[in-house]
Amino acid sequence: MAAPFRSYADRTVTEVLTELTDDAELRAVLSGHYGDYSLAPGRASFGMHAMLIRHYINGANFPVGGSARLAETATDVITGAGGSVLISAEVERVVLDDKGAACGVLMADGKSFRAPLVISDAGALNTLTRLVPDPASEAARLVQSLRTVGPSQTYVMLNIGIRASGDRLDLDPANIWAHAGPDIDGDIAAFEADPEHRTMPTYFITFPSVKDPSWESRYPGRTTIDIAGLTTWSLFEPYAGSAWMRRGADYERLKDRLTEELLGQVFRFCPQLEGRIDHTELATPLSFNHFLGREKGDFMSLAHTPQRFALRDLGAHTHVPGLLLTGQDVASAGVSGAIMGGVVAASAALERDALEDLAAG
């Protein structure tokens, strides 16, 4: 990776900002977006932070039609090229030929597919530890490095539904980041030391339906709001062995407590919503494990630490010939990072720089 990038990527956000200013409040404002890469500024690489701020410098984008349009658009491209898209289709493992090269996948329902190349978006750790049989010692080294890097931080996310249009509710489309105080690292550490009794250190409130110009025609008189609260895996670990939707009364009580806390924050910023909420549903780190194949609710998969950006063997190529990795783990966090991961994987598959193809249109 280019030396100028590494000179910043090798340091944490807090280290770089402390060099720039001794004003703690200014540092908190400058790092207030840390939740977008799900890692405390004291642990996150300044390289990740700089990419995020550059990404937002001229404002943000929201897909017209909501995030589902991303999948639908990609599906159109795949089916248009003669491919197929399967949903709710779990891969049990990558199948290897007698020379040890990937030649297809075996699905959890017993079906199998053959392919000259297998490209996995299921996450580097997930792919290398669960989907490849008998990881070779080469992979074991990378797996060990990925475990040392560790997971990104995790959230609880309350999905809220209201039977009224956003216009009537006087909602602004801008996102809200709310922190406990200017000592972001200190507040996260204090929370992690006692998550049972402390309130969450950071909240993020977003208004998807208000941002989407196509929403009102698709769902007239309806509004959605999401609020995320930074939490910690230790709070949910006791329930890790339980089954989805059957996690027991203690877990439901924990969810109720966190739902109340998050609703309190919604009313703090939008008092006009008191008494207007019609539906809530809380996603927890266990939801991300269940649906995304994560281990500790890792919201953005790997932690974007300086060590993660220093890993030389984390890229599209794996120790298994014919098996490539794609998505955020081979580039960086977020939708844009995952798209760049796709470009990296496409370059590896095509054996040429796919960015040049894109630039050429």
Ligand X SMILES: Cc1cc2nc3c(=O)[nH]c(=O)nc-3n(C[C@H](O)[C@H](O)[C@H](O)COP(=O)(O)OP(=O)(O)OC[C@H]3O[C@@H](n4cnc5c(N)ncnc54)[C@H](O)[C@@H]3O)c2cc1C
CB of 27 to ligand X, least distance (A): 24
Dihedral angle over CA of 284, 286, 291, 293, nearest 10: 130
Q: Using the rule CB under 6 A, which residue among 35, 166, 293, 322 binds ligand X?
A: 293
Residue with smaller CB distance to ligand X, 315 or 327: 327
The CA-atom distances, in angstroms, between 15 and each of 30, 110, 113, 306 are 13, 51, 48, 11
Residue 175 DSSP label: -
Q: Does 126 bind ligand X (CB under 6 A)?
A: yes
Is 300 among the residues that bind ligand X (CB under 6 A)? Answer: yes
Q: Which residue in the set 56, 244, 269, 291 belongs to the binding site for ligand X (CB under 6 A)?
A: 291
29: contact with ligand X by CB under 6 A: no
Q: Which segment (144-152, 230-238, 327-335, 344-352) binds ligand X by CB under 6 A? A: 327-335
Per CB under 6 A, 204 contacts ligand X? no
328 binds ligand X (CB under 6 A): yes
Strand bridging mode 176-179 / 202-206? antiparallel
The reply on whether position 224 binds ligand X by CB under 6 A is: no
Any residues with CB less than 8 A from the CB of 327 and at least 6 apart, and which?
121, 123, 301, 338, 341, 342, 345
- Angle of helix 334-350 relative to helix 46-56, nearest 10 degrees? 100
Choice between 28 and 51, CB closer to ligand X: 51
Residues 34-93 that bind ligand X (CB under 6 A): 90-91
Nearest to 17 by CA among 28, 1, 3: 28
Q: How many residues bind ligand X (CB under 6 A)?
A: 20
Q: Could you say which of 292, 310, 311, 349 contacts ligand X (CB under 6 A)?
A: 292
Write the interaction track for ligand X spanning residues 142-181; mark x where CB under 6 A is met and - where it is not: ---------------x------------------------
Residue whose C-alpha is closest to residue 329's, from 351, 354, 309, 306: 309
Element spanning 267, H or E: helix 249-269
**In terms of CB distance, is 27 or 33 closer to ligand X?**
33
Please identify which residue in 40, 124, 200, 338 interacts with ligand X, judged by CB under 6 A: 338
- Helix H or strand E encompassing 335: helix 334-350
**103 touching ligand X, by CB under 6 A:** no
End-to-end CA, the chain? 26
Closest approach, Cβ 174 to ligand X, in A, equals: 14
Pick from 135, 126, 141: nearest CA to 311: 141
Of 193-201, 252-260, 303-311, 334-342: span binding ligand X (CB under 6 A):
334-342
Tell me the window of 12-20, 178-186, 195-203, 291-299 that interacts with ligand X (CB under 6 A): 291-299
The residues near 214 (Cβ < 8 Å, ≥ 6 apart) are 64, 65
Q: Which residues contact ligand X by CB under 6 A?
A: 90-91, 121-122, 126, 131, 157, 288, 291-293, 299-300, 327-328, 333-335, 338, 341
